[in-house]
Amino acid sequence: MSRTRNQPVEPTSGLGFAIAAYGLWGLLPLFFLLLHPTGPFEVVAWRVLFSLVFCLALITATRGWPALLVVLRRPKTVWVMGLAGLLIFVNWQTYVFATLTGHVVEAALGYFMNPIVTVLLGVFVLHERLRRIQWIAVAISAAAVLVLTIGYGALPWISLVLALSFGFYGLIKKNVGPGVGALTGLTLETAWLMPIAIAELLIVGAMTGLTFGTVSPWHTVGLVSTGVVTAVPLLFFAAAARRLPLSLLGLVQFVAPVLQFLVGVFILGEPMPPERWVGFGLVWVALVILTVDMVATGRAPRRASPEPL
C-alpha cells in the first residue's frame, strides 16, 4: 500500500533518524576522550579496521553482498571510492587529533564552515552561479577566517582541513550517485584504507607501543566499538536521507557542530577569547544568511552532508 501525503510516518521517523545521526556525531568527542591513553593515530587505525569488520558483518547479516559485488564490477567507481577513502581518512585523523589534543571547538568550527565550502565547490568545480546574498555569506566567512587567524596568530588549520576534506568528500559521494549505498560505500572506503591503518599500527607499535588490550577490558571494548560508532550514525543518516527533503536534512546537520561546540566550551572548558567569539559569530551570521536564502528560494542544498567524523 502506497503512502499518502497525509501520512506523517516517513517525515517523523526521518527526522528521528537525522537527529540520532547528527546527535551521535556531535557527541563523538566524549567517546574518543574515553579511549585515553590511546593516541590519535592508533585510534584512527583501529577505527578503520573495526569499521571494515563491522561493515562486512552487516553486509553478511543483511545479505548485501550482491550490491557490493555489483559495485566491484565497476572499476572506475572502485577507484573513486578509494579517493573518497583517502579524504575521509584525512578528515577522521584530523578530527581525532583535534579531540585528543584539546581542539574540539576548532573542530566544531570546521563543520560549521562546511556548508560554505560546499557553496564554493559549487562555484569553482561545478561552475554554479551564486546570487549576491550568497556571495555576501561567503565574504563574511572569509572575514571570519581572517579574524580567527589574527586571534590564533596562525591559520585555523584544523577547521580548514576538516571543512575542505569533508567538502571534497561530499562532492565525490554526490558524483558517485545513489548506486553506491551508505554501507557499501563505507565498506569500500575502509577496505582501501586497511593498508594505511596497518602501517599506522606498525609505526605506533615500534615507536611508543600499542595500547590495545593493555589498559583494561573496557578500554579494549571501546577501541573495538569504534567500528560500531562509525557505522551506526552513518546508517541512521542513510535512513533519514531516504525519508526527508534535503532542505530539512541540511538544517538538521547543524546539530553535530553545535553539540561539539557545547562539549568543547562547557564540558571540556576550552578557552573562548573575544576574537574566537567574533570569528564564530561571523560564521553563524553567514550560515543564517545561507539558510534564509535557501528557505526563501525553496532550493535544497546541492549536497547534504554525507558521513562526517
244 half-sphere exposure, CB direction, 13 A CA radius: 25
Peptide bond preceding 156 in cis form (omega within 30 of 0): no
Domain that holds residue 287: 12-297
> What is this structure's pTM?
0.87
What is the model's pLDDT at position 287? Answer: 87
What is the model's pLDDT at position 242? Answer: 74
Q: Is residue 2 part of a domain?
A: no
Average pLDDT, the chain: 86
Q: Is residue 3 part of a domain?
A: no
What's the rounded Cα separation, in Å, for the pair 270 and 104? 8
Q: Is residue 252 part of a domain?
A: yes
Nearest CA among 54, 70, 52 for reference residue 62: 54
Structure-model confidence comparison of residues 286 and 7, the more confident one: 286
Q: Is residue 87 part of a domain?
A: yes
120-159 per-residue burial string, b: 16 or more CB within 10 A, e: under 16: bbbeeeeeeeeeeebebbbebbebbbebbbebbeeebebb
Summarised one tens digit per residue, pLDDT across range 243-287 is 777 667 767 888 899 999 999 999 999 998 888 899 999 999 988
Q: Is residue 7 part of a domain?
A: no
Q: Is residue 218 part of a domain?
A: yes
Summarised one tens digit per residue, pLDDT across range 149-200 is 887 778 889 999 999 998 898 888 877 777 788 889 899 999 999 999 999 9
Evaluate whether 199 touches 41 at the Cβ level (below 8 Å). Answer: no
Is the pLDDT at 18 greater than 90? The verdict is no
What is the model's pLDDT at position 5? Answer: 44
Q: Is residue 102 part of a domain?
A: yes
Q: Is residue 191 part of a domain?
A: yes
What is the model's pLDDT at position 307? Answer: 53
Per the structure, how many domains does the chain have?
1
